[in-house]
Amino acid sequence: MQIDALLLATVTAVAAGLVGCYAVMRRMALASDALSHVALPGIGIALVAGLHPMLGALVALFLGALLVWTLEEQTRIPTDTIIGVVFSAALAAGSMMMSSGDELVSVLFGRTGKITLIEAAFTVLAAGRVISFMLRERHRLVVSLVSPDMARTSGINVRRLNLGYMLMFALTIGLGLRNLGVLLMGSLIIIPAATARRLATHLSQMLWLAAVIAATTTALGFLLAAHLHREPGPVIVSLAALVFALTFLRRRA
């Protein structure tokens, strides 16, 4: 097992937990889960062009985030349908670009491998950026979550805030693709946050619970996967889902 991969995955998980809190509260869990699919054609094009797959994934994710952001501004378009169609189509198109079934599986579900120094540095910097954005903007995000109109009259630029959030969301997905893949990374954003939402009684509690649950299930998932000789992605998401299921045993006070 690689310690460096575990540490980087845990830092990414903290970012994912925080980002997820607003996604589950804004009722955009499904849209954000599907957004990760759009990375696949980006990876496909990057591989064909001989570029780093992460670069292709990030470009595709930013474009996908712009699409979600634009759709959110429109009230007269069936957003769910468009997101469902576009992101599923992206998954299908991207799958056809993969050179082998083995490659496809590793892109879909994640696979550990050698991490270059540049990748490690990028991951730490980008995750740090996401975490600081989420903590710094948390009050603005709360106000615009409760009422975008009240946010506007409080002097918040809601459009810019939403754009910033969507870009942070896309960046977080990009960071998690290596370990969790195109199909599972959305889950690491949504499931710990959904768990925290069930347990927390106030906002800051939800934020730190989501971060802790995401980081813990990721670290444990890595260790367990090494022990079971499995890829970590599916183990991490299964663990996170198990924790979520356990919250149903606890009655809300």
User: Does 96 engage in binding with other proteins (CB under 8 A)?
Assistant: no
Report which of 209, 215, 180, 213 is spatially closest to residue 7, judged by C-alpha positions: 215
Task: Rule CB under 8 A: choose which of 107, 156, 239, 240 binds other proteins.
Answer: 156
Task: Give the H or E element holding residue 187.
Answer: helix 158-199
Binders of other proteins among residues 198 to 217 (CB under 8 A) are 198, 200-206
CB-wise, 146 or 246, nearer to other proteins? 146
Binding mask 127-146 for other proteins (x = CB under 8 A): -----------xxx-xx-xx
> Residue 82 CB, nearest distance to other proteins (Å)?
17
User: Does 152 engage in binding with other proteins (CB under 8 A)?
Assistant: yes
User: Does 101 engage in binding with other proteins (CB under 8 A)?
Assistant: no
What contacts 98, CB < 8 A, 6 or more positions away? 44, 47, 104, 107
CA distance 206 to 221: 22
User: Does 80 engage in binding with other proteins (CB under 8 A)?
Assistant: no
Burial level of 245, CB count in 10 A (0-12/13-18/19+)? exposed
Whether residue 46 contacts residue 61, with contact meaning beta carbons closer than 8 Å, is answered with no
User: Does 81 engage in binding with other proteins (CB under 8 A)?
Assistant: no
Whether residue 202 contacts residue 153, with contact meaning beta carbons closer than 8 Å, is answered with no
User: Does 226 engage in binding with other proteins (CB under 8 A)?
Assistant: no
| Helix and strand numbers, DSSP H then E, in the chain | 12, 0
Q: Which two tokens stand for residue 1?
A: 């097992």
Using CB under 8 A as the binding criterion, the count of chain residues that bind other proteins stands at 29
CB-wise, 2 or 247, nearer to other proteins? 247
> Residue 135 CB, nearest distance to other proteins (Å)?
12
Residues of this chain that interact with other proteins (CB under 8 A) are: 25, 27, 76, 138-140, 142-143, 145-150, 152-156, 197-198, 200-206, 252
